[in-house]
Chain A
Amino acid sequence: MNLKTPGDTMPSATSEMLDQCTSGELVARLALIVGPDGLISSPAELLVYECDGYTMEKNRPEVVVFPRDTAQIVAVVKLCNELCVPFLPRGSGTSLAGGCLPVGGGVIISLARMKRILEVDLRNRYALVEPGVINTWLTNRVKGQGWHYAPDPSSQGACTIGGNVATNSGGPHTLKYGVTVNHILGVELVLPDGRVMQIGGPVEEAPGLDLTGLVVGSEGTFGIVSKVWVRLVRNPQGVRTLLGVFESVDDATATISEIIGAGIVPAALEMLDSLILRAVEEAFGFGFPLDAGAVLIMEVDGVEAALDGEAARIEAIALRNKARHVSRANTEAERMLLWKSRKQAFGAVGRLAPSYCTQDGVVPRTRLPEMLRVITAIGKKYQLRIANVFHAGDGNLHPILLFDERDPAQVGRVMEASHEILDACLAFGGSVTGEHGIGVEKISFMSKLFSPDDLAAMVRVRQAFNPGGLCSPGKMLPTAGACAEPSAVNQLRPARRASL
C-alpha cells in the first residue's frame, strides 16, 4: 500500500496506516537508531501504551521507542518523516486527558530514559534537566540546600518535567507560586522536521518572541522537548498548615471567598468533600472526621514573623463561616501526611469504585458554591456518585465520577455527565481545563470555548512549528492540521482500567 502523505486524511487504526511490510521496516530501522533494547513493538507490551490516565478512549501505537539523547530523538523524528508515520512524545503517561493517546497510531517517543538532571545552578536559580526527570526528583535533589521546584501536581511522584511542560501542569501550590509556565526559563525542542532549536534559556527575557511561553502547554504539538531549563525557588522560611472541618460544602466555599477577599494569598487552599474523605481516610488513616461535609486544607508560608498572624486570621474566617473546628498541623510529619492524603486522593478513589473519570473544570472562585450544587444535581440526574477534591483557591474543580467500566450504560452516563459539568463551567464564565490539558478528551469543547477565527489563529501558529501535522496529530485543536482529522479513536471502547 501507499503510505499516506501529508494532506491526506489519516485513518484511525494503525493497521490501516502501515501494512506489515512497512511496519517491519519501521521497527527494524528504529532499532538501528535506539538499539534492540530501546523499543517495544509486541502487541502484549504495547497494551500499556494504548492510553494514559484517561482510560475512556484507547488506541495502540505501532511501536514505542526509548531514546537516550537528543540525537536519537532527531533520528527517530527524521525516520518518521521519511516514512510519513505519526509520532508523539510520552512522559510517564499520567495525563488525565488523553494527552499521550496515540490517536493516529504510529510511534510513541517515550522520554523515560532521558532522566538526567544535567545541571543545578542555585546561584543562578535554575536547573537544566532532561524531559524524563520525575517532578519530585528535582525538589529532592535541592531539598537540603533550601530550594525547590514549585509546580507540584498531585502526581508529582510519577509525572515528568517534560509532561508538565506539555500540559502546563498546576498543583496545589500554584495558587501562590504559579503554574509550570511561570517556572520554565527555556527548552531545547526537536521540531517535527528534526531540526533542534534552543528556545529561551537560563538568562531571562531573550530578545524576540516568548516562544517558551507558547511551547509550554502546547501538548506536544510543536515538537519533542528534549531539555528544560527550570527556575528553582527558595524555600519559604516558615509554613503553617491548617485543617478546617465544615458541616457543608457551602460553608467551606464561603470561607475560601472570604480568605481571598481579605487579601490573604495562601500558598494552597484545597477542598475535599465527604465522599473523597471516606476514601482517603480508609487509605491513609489521617483522622479526618467521616461525618464532615467538607474539609479545607489551608496553608500559608513566607517570613516567620507574619505567619502566626496570618494563620490566626484564616482560623477566624473559617470559624466565622461555621467551621466545626480548625486545627493546625503541629509537626512536619503531620503536615506531610496531610499533603499525602490530599495528593494521593486520586489513588484512594480506587477504594470507592472500579473505575473513575476525573474532570478539570474551572469557574471564577466566587461561583464555586453554585457550581458544586450543579455537580451534585448532575450526579443525581445520571445516578452517579461524584467525589470532589480540588484546588479551591483557584476555582479549579476536580469532580471524580465513579463508575464500573464493564457496564457500557454507566460509561455512557459518565460521558454525558462529564460534558454537562464542563458545559456548566463554561456557563459560569470558566474553562474546561485548568491544568490537565485538552488532549483528546475535551477536544470537542474547543469550538465552544473559541470561535472559528480564534481557532484558525491557533492552527496558523501550529503550522509554523508542525506544518506536516505528523507530530501529535489529533490533539488540542478540533481541526488536526494537514495530516489528520479530529479524534479518530473509537469512542467509548471500555477496556481495562489503566493503573494510575
Chain B
Amino acid sequence: MAEYSRPILDFENRPLPVHAPATQEEMGEMVRAAAASGHAVYPVGGGTRLHLGLSPRRSGVVLATAGLNRVVDYPARDMTVTVELGMAVSTLRQLLAAEGQMLPVDCPNPDHATLGGLLATNGSGPGRQGYGTARDYLLGLTVIDDQGRLTRSGGRVVKNVAGYDMGKLHIGAMGTLGPLVQATFKLKPKPEAVALALISLAEEHLQPFAETLFGSATRPFVTDLLSPGAVSAFAAKAGLGLQGWLGVVAFDGAPESVAWQLATLQDELSRVTRAEVMVPDHFSSAWDALISLHGPQGTMGLRIGVLPGDTVGMAQTLADWAPKAGLMAQLGAGIVTAWGEPQPIQEPLPSLVGRLRQLALARQGWLVVIRSPAGSLKPQAMYGGPRPDTAIMAEIKQQLDPANLFNPGRFPGDI
C-alpha cells in the first residue's frame, strides 16, 4: 500500500479505518458491506490532495485504491491506454514515455498522486492552456455505484458519443458519486522539442505582457505570470537566480517551430520591456518546479477563476492586498492561484475571503478556498453560495447516491 503524505481522513479526531482492496470487484464488495452496515465510504488515492474539500460528516471507512494499479490494455498505435486508477501518475508517465507518448495533464507529486485522484480532483498544471484538462482526455470510465456494482460509460476509442458522458460528471466530483476504478485515456505524442521562456517583468509591464501574448504570432502552451512571492519558491526549486514578477511562456513542437517562436516572442516583447527572454538550460527541472507550484503551499490557499482578460487585474489586486503572497496567474485560462500565511490581525479571514469573492463574482468568476487553517472558515465561505446549477447537482447526487454513502460532507452543496 502506498504511504500517505499525511494522516488519512479522520472523523471527530479519530482516524478512519483503511481498507485496500486488491481488485475492483473486491472494492465493490467493500462498498456493499459499508452500505449494509450504514458506514460511509471515503475513497482515497495517493492522499496528496486530501486538503481539498471539507471534513467527513460521518463515520465510515477509507477505501484506498493503491492496490488497483494494473495496465488493462495499452494499444500504443491507437494512442489510447486503459488502466486501473490506483496507479501513480508517474508510473503511467514512464509507461507512455517508452512509446514516445504522454497524457498531458500535469500533476505535482506524481510518484504518490494517483490517476483516480487526478480525475476526482480535476487536477491540472501549467500545460492546461495548450493541452486542456482531464475532461479532454478521458474516453471511458468505470466507477463503483452505491450498490457496489461496477458501472461503465464511454468506451476505448477516441471518438464515441454513445450514452451520457458520465466521465465528465465524475471529473472534479471528489469521489462523491462513487469511487473511480478504471479509465481509458486518449494520448498525445510527446513533442519533439520543448522550451521554457522566462521574462522578468516590472509591475507596470504585467498587463502589456499579457496583451502581447494575446496578440502574439506564436502559440505557447503555457502563459503564466508569477508574483515575487511565487518566484522565490519557483527559483529555489528550479535552481535559478530570479526575483520580482516573472512571465513564464512555453513552446512545444518541431525544433524549428520552437526556435522560431522563441525568437518571435523575444521580438514581440521588445516593444514592451527591455528584459531578455531567458531560456533555462534544463527544461525539466524548471518545468517540475513550475508544476510544483500547483501543489499545496502555505496554510492558506485560494483558487480564483475570471475571464482571461481580467487575469492580470485580479492578480495585481491580490498582490496589493497581500504583497508576500505567492500568486500564479494562468493568463490563457483565467485562473489565479494564491497561497500564503493568513494575517488575521489585519482582517478576519471570513471577511477577507468574502471581499475577494465579491471581486471575482463581479467579473463573472468564482473563488474557492483550497486550503485554510482548520476551523477558520465555514463550508459556505470555502466555496461560496449556491450557484444557479447547484440544485441540479444536488438532484444528481440524490439520484446516484441517495443514502449519501460516498464522501458525505466533503463537497459543498449537499453533493
Q: Which residues of A contact B (CB under 8 A)?
A: 121, 123-125, 167-168, 170, 174, 178-179, 181-182, 191, 197-214, 216-218, 234, 236-237, 257, 260-261, 263-265, 302-306, 309-310, 362-366, 391, 394-396, 429-438, 442, 445-446, 449-451, 453-458, 460-465, 476-477
Contact = CB atoms under 8 A, between A and B. Distances in A.
Contact of B334 (A204, A236, A261, A263): A204
A203 B153 CA distance: 27
Contacts of B365: 203
Nearest to A425: B157
B30 interface: no
Pairs of residues from A and B, 9 with the lowest C-beta to C-beta distance, nearest first:
A213-B168, A263-B189, A306-B257, A305-B260, A306-B254, A434-B159, A464-B395, A431-B160, A460-B399
Interface string B308-347: 1100000000000000000000000111000000000000
A199 B169 CA distance: 13
Given A212-B168, A214-B169, A465-B395, 15 more contacts: A123-B309, A124-B308, A202-B307, A202-B364, A207-B366, A208-B387, A305-B256, A431-B155, A433-B160, A433-B162, A449-B163, A451-B151, A457-B153, A462-B164, A464-B392
B267 interface: no
Interface in B142-185: 145, 149-153, 155-166, 168-169, 171-173
A210 B169 contact: yes
B80 interface: yes
Interface string B74-88: 010111100000000
Contacts of A264: 189
Contacts of B190: 263
Contacts of B393: 208-209, 211
A214 B154 CA distance: 12
A210 B171 contact: yes
Contacts of B260: 303-306
Contacts of A167: 161
B218 interface: yes
Chain B interface size range: 35 or more
Nearest to B411: A208
Contacts of B384: 207
B177 to A, nearest CB: 8
A419 to B, nearest CB: 15
Q: Which of B160, B256, B363 has the most CB of A within 10 A?
A: B160
B183 to A, nearest CB: 15
A430 B308 contact: no
A211 B169 CA distance: 7
A430 B157 contact: yes
Q: Which of B155, B383, B389, B395 has the most CB of A within 10 A?
A: B389
Contact of B78 (A123, A199, A364, A438): A364
Given A205-B335, A464-B398, A449 B162 contact: yes
Nearest to A303: B257
B396 A436 contact: no
A201 B364 contact: yes
A265 B79 CA distance: 11
Given A197-B388, A205-B335, A211-B393, A217 B164 contact: yes
Interface of B: 75, 77-80, 100, 122, 132-133, 135-136, 145, 149-153, 155-166, 168-169, 171-173, 188-190, 192, 214, 217-219, 253-254, 256-257, 259-261, 305-309, 333-335, 363-366, 368, 383-384, 387-393, 395-396, 398-400, 412-413, 415
B156 A450 contact: no
B159 A396 contact: yes
B307 A203 contact: yes
A318 B291 CA distance: 39
Contacts of A454: 151-153, 163
Contacts of B78: 364-366, 395
Contacts of B333: 204-205
B335 A437 contact: no
A76 to B, nearest CB: 20
B149 A453 contact: yes
Contacts, number: 248
B83 to A, nearest CB: 16
B172 A209 contact: yes
B75 A198 contact: no
A218 to B, nearest CB: 6
Given A445-B162, A449-B162, A178 B136 contact: yes
B163 to A, nearest CB: 6
Contacts of B163: 438, 446, 449-450, 454-455, 458, 476-477
Contacts of A205: 122, 133, 172, 305, 333, 335
Contact of B257 (A263, A305, A395): A305
B257 A181 contact: no
A241 B388 CA distance: 45
Nearest to A261: B77
Contacts of B135: 181-182, 210, 213
B152 A451 contact: yes
A263 B189 CA distance: 5
Contact of B399 (A211, A237, A463): A463
Contacts of B145: 453, 457
Contact of A302 (B75, B257, B396): B257
Contact of B75 (A174, A364, A430, A458): A364
A125 B149 CA distance: 42
A204 B305 contact: yes
B171 A191 contact: no
Nearest to B310: A124
Contacts of A449: 155, 162-163
Contacts of A365: 77-78, 158
Q: Which of B162, B309, B400 has the most CB of A within 10 A?
A: B162
B165 A168 contact: yes
Contacts of B77: 257, 260-261, 365-366
Contact of B169 (A204, A437, A461): A461
B136 A199 contact: no
A183 to B, nearest CB: 10
Contacts of A237: 217, 219
A263 B158 contact: no
Contacts of A464: 392, 395-396, 398-399
Nearest to B193: A306
A303 B257 CA distance: 6
B124 to A, nearest CB: 8
A167 B383 CA distance: 32
B360 to A, nearest CB: 9
A459 to B, nearest CB: 9
Contacts of B164: 214, 217-218, 458, 461-462, 476
Contacts of A435: 159, 161
Contacts of B214: 123
Given A182-B132, A303-B260, A303-B261, A214 B165 contact: yes
Nearest to B78: A364
B396 to A, nearest CB: 4
Contacts of B169: 209-211, 213-214, 461
A49 B165 CA distance: 28
A309 B253 CA distance: 12
